[in-house]
Structure 1
Amino acid sequence: MSGPSKPNLQPITGRDDLVAWLESGNKPQDQWRMGTEHEKFAYRLSDKTALPYADPNGGPGIRDMLEGLQAYGWQPVEENGNVIAMTRDDGGSISLEPGGQLELSGAPLETVHQTCTEVTTHRKQVREVAEKLGVGLIGLGFAPTWRREDMHWMPKGRYAIMRNYMPKVGTLGLDMMLRTCTVQVNMDYASEADMVKKFRVATALQPVATALWANSPFTEGKPNGWRSYRAHIWTDTDNNRAGLPEFAFEDGFGFERYVDYLLDVPMYFVARDGRYIDVAGRSFRDFLEGKLPELPGETPTVGDWADHASTAFPDVRLKKYMEMRGSDGGPWSRLCALPAFWGGLLYDSDALDEAWHLVKDWTPEERRALHAGVPVTALKTPFRSGTVQDLALDALRIARAGLGRRGRLSADGMDESGFLEPLQRIAESGMSPADELLDAYQNRWNGSLEPLWAAYAY
C-alpha cells in the first residue's frame, strides 16, 4: 500500500475535478520515472515467529526496526504516538503493511540502474539494523508457516477499519492484509491515449508477470496447491475493488471511465486531523453531495480522493501514475527485474506497439482464463496453442529490445536489459520460482521448510 503523503486540502467541486486529478499525471517522456515498491516479512531469528510491533517482554519489534533506520537519514512519521513509517527527501518511504510487512516505496527514478542501487542500499540498511536486533527478513508472496492468529496487527487507524470490513466482503481479505507480500512498479504516462494503451497492455500481461514471479506455494508449512497463492487470495478479498479490470478493454475507456469505476468502489475511511473516520461501505458519490452520515454536509478534498483511489485494488491501478500489482514478493536478487520488465514493455514506443499487437485480439474469456489459471499452474497454464511460458518468452523478447532502444546506460556502459536475466532463466526453464521451491521441498529439503529461511533471506 502507498506510503505516507501530505494531505491535499483543495476542495473538490464536482466530477470534472476527479478526472482532472488523473489528467494531472500526464508527463512528457523525458520526465517519465519508475518507482519500485517491495514488501518483506520480518521475524525473530530465535524462533522464526512473526515480529510484533512492540514486544512488552523486551524482545525485538517492528518499531525497533523503524527507529534503527533513523541512523541512515530516514525521518519518522507518527500516528497516535506510534512510529508507523519513515520518509526521506527524495520521495522514498518505508511503511508498514497490516501484519508488519516492511515496505520500501522507492523514489521515482529515471533508470533501472538507479532502482537497483536503491534496492541494494535498502537491503544493506535493513540487514544491518535487523542483525543488531536478532531479526530476519524474508521475501515470499505468502507467509510460509504462520497462521492468521500468529500475526500481529500494526497500530494504524486505516487498518483497524479494513480489518473490521474485510470479512463482510470476502473470506480471504484478512490473509491479504496479514500474510501476503508483493513487489510492484509505478509507471508514468504521457496522455490519456498513452495511458489507455499502457493500461490495456499491462492488464493483459499481468498474468505473465504473476507467473514469472509466482512465489507462494506454501501455507502453514505445507504445499497449498497454488503457485501464487497471493494472487488467488485477491479473488476472494473484495471483488468490488479487486481483480481483473475488464472494463479497460471497452470502447471509450479513459480517465472518465476510470473515475466512474472508482466512484463505484465502496469507501473505507476519511482522514481528518490525524484520525481515520470509518465510512466503510459508503459511496464517494454521496460524499461529493455532502451526504455522508458520518460527515454531514462535508464534501471531499483532493486528498480524500487520492486516499480513496489507493483503496481500489485492480491488477493495474491508476492514480497520477500506473501501478503494476500482479507479482509476488521475492528475494532481493529479483526485485530489479520488475522495473526492467515493465520499463522495457511500456517506456519504448516500438515495444509498446509490439506488446499491444501481441494482446489486442485476446478475448475477454481468454483474459479471464489466464487470470484464473496462472495462480494455479503459472508458466504451465495453457493459452491457445501453447502456454504462458510462450507468452513470457515473447514478452521478455519485446522488453529486452525496448530496454536496448531506451539506451539508459550504467557507468560501465551496460544497458538495462541485463536485469531481465533472472526472468529469462525462469521463462526458458518453464519453472516458476514456486515450482523450484516445491521441487526443493520435496527432493532436497525432505519435506521441511527450515532451509527456506536461509534460501530466501534478505
Structure 2
Amino acid sequence: MASDASRPARDPAGAAGRTPAHAPAPAPPSAPTPLSERDAEAHVAAHCFAPGPPARTGVELEWLVWRPDDPGALVPGAASRAALDRLTDAGPLPGGGRLTREPGGQVEISSAPAPSLAACVAATRADLERVRAALADAGLAAVGLGLDPHRSPPRVLDHPRYRAMERYFDRQSPGGRLVMRATASVQISVDAGDESDGPRGYRARWALAHRLGPVLTAAFANSPLWLGRPTGWRSTRQALWARIDPGRTRPPAPGEAPGAGDGHVTGHADPRAAWARYALDASLLCVRRAAPASWTAPPNRSFRSWLRGPTADARAPALADLDYHLGTLFPPVRPRGWLELRMIDAQSGDGWTVPLAVASVLLDDPRAAEEAWRATEPLTRGRALPALDLWLRAARHGPADPELGPAVRACLAAAESALARLPDAAELRADVAAFADRYAEHGRCPADDQLDALEGRPRATRGGRRPAPTEPQGRRPPSRRLAPQEASE
C-alpha cells in the first residue's frame, strides 16, 4: 500500500525484495542521535499500530515473469527492466499504484490506499492491465504462482541490501535465496483499527488477522512444485518463510489473552508491547553503511543488542536504523501502522481479487468478523492466536486438513454474505462463490490444479472431495522435498 499523509512513508527498498529499477543505495544516517532501548520500544509500539477507524484497503501483487513460449527459460533482468522502464517513462500508472521489481526479477504492483474494496480492485485492475500489456510487448508475461515451479533464478538486482540479505539468509537456511528470487504473493493491507474493544478495534483485528492467517494460507495455497516436482507442500512458499529465520518470519507465540475462547471478537490484550519485543529481539539483517562498504550485519546480533553496544564499525543505532530494521521483519501479519497480511500465495490470472475480497470483508464487516472468529475458534485451542503447527498444516495440506477445511468453508461463506451487504460488490461476491464451489467445497486449493496438470489428470471442479492427506492418493512423480530443517513439522 502506498503512503499517504496519515501512513508511514514506504522506503523503496524497505520491504522484502522490492526496489525501483536503478534505485541508488540510500545513504546511512549521518551523526545519528543516540537511541535508548526504552525509546525504541515506545517508537515501535506507537508507530506500528496507528489507531483509527477501519476505512481503507490496499493490495500488493507480486508476479513471476516468464516467456510464455518457454516458461522454464531464464528471463534476463535487462529484458523485464526495459519493458517496465518504457511503461514508467510514459507516466504514472492509471490507478495510482507503484511498480517495483524484486531480486529475482519478479514484478510488484502496490496499490494506493483505497476508500473501499471496490475502488481498490478497480484501480489495481487498471494498473495491472497496463503492466501486462508492457510485458507482452516485450514477449513476457506476468504469472501468478506462489513459487516458480521450473527454475531457481539468479538475483538480477544489485543492491547492498540484497547482497547483505543473501549473506544473512545463507547463514540461516538454503531456502532464503529461493524466497527472495522465486516466490510471489498477494499482500493485503487494512487499517489497524480503532481504540475500541470490539471487532473494529486494533486489538481484536490483530488477533483475528492471525486466526485467519492459516485459513487464508490453506484456501489460496498455490506453490506445490519446484524444479518440476511436488515438494510435499501445498504452499511451499509459506513453508519456506516459516523456516528461514524464526525470529523474523514466524508469527508471534500464541499466548493466553483476555477474550480467547469466549466466541466473541472483544476484550483482547494489547499487541503493541509484544510486537516491540519481537522487533527488537529479531536479528540484524543488514546495517546501512556509506558506499562502498558492505551492509552485511554482524552475526548473532539483535537490534536490542545493538542498542546495548555498537557494532564493529562503532556506530550506535539511530531512529532511522530502527525504522529500516522494521522493514526487514517478515511475519505473516506485519504491523506497519496498518496491518499487512503476507501469507497468501500469488494467484493465477485475476484470481487475486478473491483473497483480497475475503480478507478485507472478514476484517472490516463486524458481522463477518464475528462469524470468522467463531469459525476459527476450534483452531486455536483456547488461545488468542494459532500455534505454529496450524500454519504448517495449512501450508502442507491446504483445505484437505480435517480441521482447517471446515474453517475455510465457513469463512468463505461469511465473506460471501458480507459482500452481499456491500454496494458495487456483486461481481466480487460471484467470484468468491465460484472459488468456494470449485475448491473449498471439495477440500481443494489452487495448488491442486498444478498437481493435477503434472499428473495429466483433468482439473477437478466438482464431484467428491479429494481424500484427506492421510489416505492413499495414487502415484505421483517423486517429490523434490525441502531440506529437512525446512520440511519437517
1:167 corresponds in structure 2 to 170
Secondary structure at the counterpart of residue 65 of structure 2 = strand
Alignment partner for residue 400 of structure 1, among 416, 430, 451?
416
Alignment partner for residue 73 of structure 1, among 71, 84, 91?
91
Alignment partner for residue 400 of structure 2, among 371, 375, 380?
380
Structure 2: gaps of 5 or more residues: 1-14, 21-25, 259-268, 460-475, 478-489
- How far apart, CA to CA, are the structure 2 residues paired with 1:253 and 1:158? 33
In the TM superposition, residue 195 of structure 1 has moved relative to its aligned partner by 2.2
Aligned identity (percent) is: 26
Secondary structure at the counterpart of residue 145 of structure 2 = coil
Secondary structure at the counterpart of residue 277 of structure 1 = coil
Letter in 2 for 1:240: G
- CA 1:391–1:359: 2 relative to 1, 3 Å: closer
- How far apart, CA to CA, are the structure 2 residues paired with 1:356 and 1:205? 8
For residues 53-102 of structure 1, what are the alpha-carbon distances to aligned partners after superposition, in whole Å with 9 as ceiling and x for unaligned? 22xxxxxx23213212224424xxxxxxxxxxxx9995x32222221111
For residues 178-217 of structure 1, what are the alpha-carbon distances to aligned partners after superposition, in whole Å with 9 as ceiling and x for unaligned? 1111111011123465222112222122111111111112
Alignment RMSD, CA only? Answer: 3.2
Letter in 2 for 1:63: R
- CA 1:400–1:46: 2 relative to 1, 3 Å: closer
In the TM superposition, residue 442 of structure 1 has moved relative to its aligned partner by 1.7
TM-score w.r.t. structure 1 length?
A: 0.81
1:44 corresponds in structure 2 to 67
1:391 corresponds in structure 2 to 407
> Which has more helix, going by share of residues?
1
2:12 corresponds in structure 1 to none
- How far apart, CA to CA, are the structure 2 residues paired with 1:89 and 1:114? 9
1:453 corresponds in structure 2 to none
Alignment partner for residue 299 of structure 1, among 280, 295, 317?
317
For residues 213-234 of structure 1, what are the alpha-carbon distances to aligned partners after superposition, in whole Å with 9 as ceiling and x for unaligned? 1111211122332211112212
- How far apart, CA to CA, are the structure 1 residues paired with 2:121 and 2:94? 18
Q: Residues 432-447 of structure 1: matches in 2 within 5 Å? A: 432-444=445-457
Verify the 8 A CA contact 1:41 1:102 in the aligned structure 2: yes
1:262 corresponds in structure 2 to 279
Verify the 8 A CA contact 1:208 1:391 in the aligned structure 2: yes
Letter in 2 for 1:137: A
Q: Is 1:225 the counterpart of 2:271 in the alignment?
A: no
TM-score w.r.t. structure 2 length?
A: 0.76
1:417 corresponds in structure 2 to 429
In the TM superposition, residue 45 of structure 1 has moved relative to its aligned partner by 4.2
In the TM superposition, residue 108 of structure 1 has moved relative to its aligned partner by 0.9
Q: Is 1:96 the counterpart of 2:85 in the alignment?
A: no
1:62 corresponds in structure 2 to 80
Q: Is 1:242 the counterpart of 2:266 in the alignment?
A: no
Q: Residues 201-350 of structure 1: matches in 2 within 5 Å? A: 201-247=208-254, 249-250=256-257, 252-271=269-288, 277-281=295-299, 282-289=301-308, 291-294=310-313, 296-301=314-319, 303-350=320-367
In the TM superposition, residue 400 of structure 1 has moved relative to its aligned partner by 2.9
Secondary structure at the counterpart of residue 171 of structure 2 = helix
1:427 corresponds in structure 2 to 440
Letter in 2 for 1:230: R
Structure 1: gaps of 5 or more residues: 55-60, 75-86, 449-458
Secondary structure at the counterpart of residue 322 of structure 1 = strand
Letter in 2 for 1:128: A
In the TM superposition, residue 266 of structure 1 has moved relative to its aligned partner by 0.6
Letter in 1 for 2:297: V
> Which has more strand, going by share of residues?
1
1:121 corresponds in structure 2 to 126
- CA 1:45–1:395: 2 relative to 1, 3 Å: closer
In the TM superposition, residue 445 of structure 1 has moved relative to its aligned partner by 8.1
Verify the 8 A CA contact 2:306 2:317 in the aligned structure 1: yes
2:157 corresponds in structure 1 to 154
- CA 1:7–1:273: 2 relative to 1, 3 Å: closer
2:114 corresponds in structure 1 to 109
Verify the 8 A CA contact 1:341 1:399 in the aligned structure 2: yes
Alignment partner for residue 139 of structure 1, among 130, 136, 144?
144
In the TM superposition, residue 322 of structure 1 has moved relative to its aligned partner by 0.9
In the TM superposition, residue 382 of structure 1 has moved relative to its aligned partner by 2.1
- How far apart, CA to CA, are the structure 2 residues paired with 1:95 and 1:267? 24
For residues 95-136 of structure 1, what are the alpha-carbon distances to aligned partners after superposition, in whole Å with 9 as ceiling and x for unaligned? 222211111121111222222222322222122211221222
Q: Is 1:370 the counterpart of 2:390 in the alignment?
A: yes
Q: Is 1:179 the counterpart of 2:182 in the alignment?
A: yes
2:465 corresponds in structure 1 to none
- CA 1:152–1:317: 2 relative to 1, 3 Å: same
More moved, 187-196 vs 214-223:
187-196
Verify the 8 A CA contact 1:182 1:329 in the aligned structure 2: yes
In the TM superposition, residue 343 of structure 1 has moved relative to its aligned partner by 1.3
More moved, 356-365 vs 167-176:
356-365
- CA 1:366–1:93: 2 relative to 1, 3 Å: closer
How many corresponding residue pairs? Answer: 416
For residues 144-174 of structure 1, what are the alpha-carbon distances to aligned partners after superposition, in whole Å with 9 as ceiling and x for unaligned? 111x3x4333222211101111121123111
Letter in 2 for 1:421: A
1:451 corresponds in structure 2 to none
